[in-house]
Structure 1
């Protein structure tokens, strides 16, 4: 039986005072010969200006009170506040910005003929950089994103002009794939990392043989933007030769590019890019206009990719150069056996201005052993004239997910008519000589 006393005599309290249920006895059940003492409750009905109303409840049997005490009310308000904070956090998470980067330094020794360099170098297995990237969730599965990345020289603590030359793009992504605009890596360049376990960094990279060198004379005027430099050898008088280094300006990245990448369809993806070339506005020609297309398949341990890229070497002052082209085809694949990943690649470069096609073969293997990975590669490149080949061995030990130590050795054999070296510390004209390099360093990223 429950008896209620008069619910009069309101008590005024401060709004921040928490009043809880009070009882004059610590027991709900009294001895039968004693009259039960009342249980005192304070309630705060709405619309009474903050007044608390007192009522006494006589309990003669166990009951489950349905009254919401102020203590429970405070807990409920706290839960509501936490839910509001969580909701605001989810809304904030729709946009994200990430600062990233890393540094790679090593001690490198390169010997090419009678020339030798020993000193500090960088980018043995990783290109030193710093950048910022982010995405915004636009809803409906659509996102916007940006990626700005610049190179740096950690050996002397300076930036490479720090103008985001490594990558500067904005784009949209969703179920349709991704569209990117700006300065970006070409689809062709991404194939190189599949074939070569050393990638594009260090003395062991196949990119040591990427350029075309002629020693027959000066630059060809019709070569346009492909002719990057005149070379003057520092070799003894009997070996002094002059020539020109030719390189595809879009072999790695392309300016003013528009690219589209499809989502994966059963492991198949397609990437396509067009570069509008240089900033030669209102002229008959534009330097370095380019198209690059890649078809790739990745499923489980197997990865295969085929890319085609055509760069026009036109310059504003040479109309004839606009018809000159550098055409590259690159087929690469890798298969992870578990104990080791084997890789291979075949690349052709057709240059209309020297009437030659260069052919490159890349073989590689990488064997993980816990935190240690052993690597080896062989690269062979040949054209109408004999060129060169390179053999490389390397080891990488991961101290953590972001920090590694490494060592690499490579030997590049130049045949007559071709002169390249491992690394970039020495001049490039070493026709017929052997270039050897060793480096050991540390890489850390964040």
Structure 2
């Protein structure tokens, strides 16, 4: 009898703990057919940039990188929560990890009504700012990020400390990130964004700087008319490149078409480029869509057609 009561007590306590915390497995599967003349994004397989028509996974002309991740959150009470996020890229060519394991996300955070403090490998604030208005939801083939990155910053920082303000500030939010010089080869760096997202309007200012480099920044925004979205931005990638983008997305039910143009006003290479993206997407469900994209990038022509499933 005592053993039975003990077992029931342990089970009840376990149930209470489960009710206060959760762990979620999630991911993306994205693959298709395409041609990439040269270069790649993120941890994309180098063999997908062969200037030949072939199977593509995690390449510049996929909508996104296939990935698997796990995230969790525990309610500590009093409005305080703690959580984590681990995420790894996958190459659907072979099934191998497309980069170091958990290299997409590996962080721990603590949050409450005062905001969120995060530590580890995570998105840069500049990435979050561009994501607020960019028309393709930061697709691998985004003409904005392929031309200007994120105001000269990358999409993620190692060893980053960051703070993000809470929501409910009249549509405004802000985030600042910092990497100590000891964690970045004696080159400390900071990064921040200020975002306004309210109704049909989304806009963001970002800035980032690394020791002994100039400040890079972006200023962009979009307006959603319902069946049509327009967006524009100005981008300054420190000393290497600067310019503007302008584009729009037309929505026809489950089908959408996006055209986005990036133009250099300065390019350290000496040649100014006009880069163009054309994208068509058709939603098969809330989690699955097919896409066709063509990207003219710095004189090269690239294309891809594929399927993306989010789970």
The one of 286, 295, 299 equivalent to 2:186 is 286
Q: 1:255–1:277: 8 Å Cα contact kept in structure 2?
A: no
Report SS of the residue matched to 2:52. Answer: strand
Deviation at 1:208, TM superposition (A): 2.5
The answer to whether 1:334 aligns with 2:222 is yes
Give the Cα–Cα distance (whole angstroms) in 1 for the partners of residues 147 and 292 of structure 2: 20
Q: Please tell me whether residue 252 in structure 1 is matched to residue 135 in structure 2.
A: no
Cα shift at 1:198 = 2.8
Partner of 2:253: 370
**Pair 1:165-2:103 in alignment:** yes
- 2:308 corresponds to 1:405: no
User: Structure 2 CA distance, aligned partners of 1:400 and 1:358?
Assistant: 39
2:21 to 88, 95, 117: 95
C-alpha separation between the residues in 2 aligned to 1:142 and 1:397? 40
Q: Residue 33 of structure 2 aligns with which residue? A: 107
**TM-score (structure 1 length as normaliser):** 0.59
**8 Å Cα contact 1:186-1:273 kept in structure 2:** yes
Cα drift, residue 161 of structure 1? 4.2
**Cross-structure match for 1:116:** 51
TM-score normalised to the size of structure 2? 0.83
Question: For residues 291-306 of structure 1, what are the structure 2 equivalents within 5 Å?
Answer: 291-306=190-205
Q: Can you list the C-alpha shifts for 1:253-293, whole angstroms capped at 9, x where unaligned?
A: 1111110001121111111110125647xxxx614x21011
Separation in structure 2 between the aligned mates of residue 177 and residue 279 of structure 1, nearest angstrom? 25
Q: Could you tell me which of 236, 239, 242 is aligned with 1:359?
A: 242
Over aligned residue pairs, what C-alpha RMSD do you find? 2.4
CA distance in 2 between counterparts of 1:408 and 1:197 reads 13
Question: Is 1:270 matched with 2:174?
Answer: yes
Q: For residues 168 and 143 of structure 1, what CA distance do their matches in structure 2 show?
A: 18
CA shift digits 1:62-81 (9 cap, x unpaired): xxxxxxxxxxxxxxxxxxxx
User: CA separation of 1:261/1:111 partners in 2, compared to 1, >3 Å: closer, same or farther?
Assistant: closer
| Matching residue of 2:91 | 153
8 Å contact from structure 2 (residues 130, 204) kept in 1: no
1:435 corresponds to 2:300 = yes
C-alpha contact 1:121 1:155 (8 A) present in aligned 2? yes
Structure 2 gap ranges (5+): 1-10, 39-49
Residues of 2 paired with 1:299 and 1:279: CA distance? 37
Tell me how many residue pairs correspond in the alignment.
283
Q: Say if 1:176 and 1:263, in contact at 8 Å, map to a contact too.
A: yes
Q: Is the 8 A contact 1:108 1:437 kept in 2?
A: yes
Residues 290 and 181 (structure 1), Cα distance of their counterparts in 2 relative to 1, 3 Å cut:
same
Give the deviation of 1:109 after TM superposition. 2.0
Instruction: Answer whether contact 2:63 2:141 (CA < 8 A) is retained.
Output: no
Matches within 5 A, 1:417-432: none
**What is the distance in 1 between the residues matched to 2:32 and 2:55?**
6
Q: 1:381 to 1:194 in 2, by over 3 A?
A: farther
Counterpart-to-counterpart distance in 1, 2:303 and 2:109: 40
Output one character per residue of 1:324-371: Cα deviation in whole Å (capped at 9) or x when no partner: 2142111111111011111111111223xxxxx632211121222111
How far did residue 86 of structure 1 move? 9.9
Q: Could you tell me whether the CA contact under 8 Å between 1:310 and 1:325 is conserved in 2? A: yes
Shift of 1:410: 1.9
Moved >6 Å (runs of 4+):
85-88
Asked whether the equivalents of residues 373 and 395 of structure 1 are also in contact (C-alpha less than 8 Å), the reply is yes
